């Protein structure tokens, strides 16, 4: 069988960012409004620092205002809620991103609930979770949708066109990725199975998938013989593993070299889903600013 076509998330994300940048310029010209994104990082986790920095940098590159808030690892829930309330009330802020995970003294659901749903560019507020969970097939996504799942669905639509009637298996049931991906695939008229660590005969379930989305955070967990020949495989995993030379490298949740000759479409790691997350955050921030300005939703 021919090798899989790699799904080039890096290139797609670059195009999306360019379209968002044009959308930002058009909004400014039309209304004088500059979209603003506030990022909040609690603590000093190095990976989170890298992510938050890239989000602020990207916002600035696309002509948005970026407000970077760093709080110490010992921050109390009350202190964080005070900052969120201030950002909710700030007219220059259209999007609020509280980087997860939060330190254990803070109850994450309380913080997510405190973010104004209109500024919830992560799509994690229960109102937005509920909107996604009750959306009609094919209905417009005119509310914030979690960034990584949105990126996965954009890549699939680009690679396959219509997803209607396909069997999609999502491995992983997290609130960040698995569940919202499943909702987006259902909206796209897939038949959706959510599999997880307790699923019986996971390999056989995966082998029944026309679309396989893997988001479990286990390097190389999905093997080549778990994949149906001709399937589209979206690998959401970003795992840092040691190399023989004593360095580290990034690998996904799918055994890439094994999957390559079997799948028809496959996302690489890095360069697949990863770059889509920040690009979709920019997209959500632009849409939030447009909604605030009373302008209709535009697909970019």
Segment contacting ligand GUN (CB under 6 A): 25-33, 80-88, 91-99, 151-159?
Answer: 91-99
Active site (annotated) includes residue 235: no
Pick 146 or 268: Cβ nearer ligand GUN: 146
Pick 4 or 97: Cβ nearer ligand GUN: 97
SS3 21: helix
Each residue of 108-134: b (16+ CB within 10 Å) or e? beebbbbbbbbbbbbbbbeebbebbee
The least distance separating ligand GUN from the CB of residue 289, rounded to whole angstroms, comes to 18
By the 10 Å C-beta count (0-12 exposed, 13-18 middle, 19+ buried), 88 is classed as: middle
Catalytic residue among 8, 118, 122, 253: 122
Measured CA to CA, the distance from residue 230 to residue 232 in angstroms comes to 7
Instruction: List the one residue from 98, 194, 222, 255 that touches ligand GUN (CB under 6 A).
Output: 98
Instruction: List the one residue from 75, 99, 128, 287 that touches ligand GUN (CB under 6 A).
Output: 99
Instruction: List the one residue from 20, 24, 38, 97 that touches ligand GUN (CB under 6 A).
Output: 97
What lies within 8 Å, CB to CB, of 20 at 6+ separation is 62, 279, 282, 283, 286, 300
The least distance separating ligand GUN from the CB of residue 238, rounded to whole angstroms, comes to 9
Pick 169 or 177: Cβ nearer ligand GUN: 177
The two structure tokens encoding residue 4? 């899989």
| Cβ neighbour number for residue 175 with a 10 Å cutoff | 14
Closest C-alpha among 149, 117, 115, 104 to residue 40: 115
Instruction: List the one residue from 122, 210, 235, 253 that touches ligand GUN (CB under 6 A).
Output: 122
The least distance separating ligand GUN from the CB of residue 143, rounded to whole angstroms, comes to 16
Is 176 a binder of ligand GUN (CB under 6 A)? Answer: yes
Catalytic residue among 99, 118, 183, 210: 99
Instruction: List the one residue from 94, 153, 183, 277 that touches ligand GUN (CB under 6 A).
Output: 277
Q: What is the CA radius of gyration of the chain?
A: 19
Which residues, in sequence order, are bridge partners of residue 33?
Answer: none
The least distance separating ligand GUN from the CB of residue 276, rounded to whole angstroms, comes to 11
By the 10 Å C-beta count (0-12 exposed, 13-18 middle, 19+ buried), 97 is classed as: buried
Catalytic residue IDs: 55, 99, 122
Q: Which residues bind ligand GUN (CB under 6 A)?
A: 97-100, 122, 147-148, 176, 277
């Amino acid at each position: 069988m021919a090798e899989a076509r790699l799904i080039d998330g890096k290139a797609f994300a670059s195009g999306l960012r360019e379209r968002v940048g044009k959308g930002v310029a058009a909004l400014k010209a039309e209304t004088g409004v500059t979209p603003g994104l506030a990022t909040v990082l609690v603590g000093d986790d190095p990976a989170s620092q890298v992510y938050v920095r890239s989000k602020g940098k990207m916002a600035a590159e696309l002509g948005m205002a970026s407000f970077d808030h760093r709080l110490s690892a010992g921050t109390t829930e009350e202190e964080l809620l005070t900052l969120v309330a201030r950002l909710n009330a700030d007219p220059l802020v259209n999007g609020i991103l509280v980087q997860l995970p939060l330190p254990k003294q803070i109850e994450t659901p309380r913080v997510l609930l405190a973010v104004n749903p209109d500024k919830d560019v992560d799509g994690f507020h229960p109102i937005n979770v509920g909107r996604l969970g009750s959306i009609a097939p094919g209905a417009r996504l005119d509310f914030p949708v979690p960034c990584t799942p949105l990126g996965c669905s954009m890549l699939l639509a680009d690679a396959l066109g219509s997803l209607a009637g396909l069997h999609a298996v999502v491995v992983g049931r997290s609130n960040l990725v698995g569940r919202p991906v499943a909702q987006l695939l259902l909206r796209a008229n897939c038949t959706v199975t959510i599999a997880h660590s307790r699923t019986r005969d996971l390999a056989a379930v995966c082998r029944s998938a026309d679309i396989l989305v893997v988001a479990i955070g286990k390097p190389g967990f999905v093997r080549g013989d778990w994949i149906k020949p001709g399937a589209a495989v979206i690998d959401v995993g970003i795992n840092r593993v040691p190399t023989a030379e004593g360095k580290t490298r990034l690998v996904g949740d799918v055994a890439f070299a094994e999957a390559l000759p079997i799948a028809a479409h496959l996302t690489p790691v890095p360069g697949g889903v990863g770059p889509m997350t920040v690009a979709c955050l920019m997209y959500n921030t632009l849409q939030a600013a447009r909604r605030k300005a009373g302008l209709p939703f535009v697909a970019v």
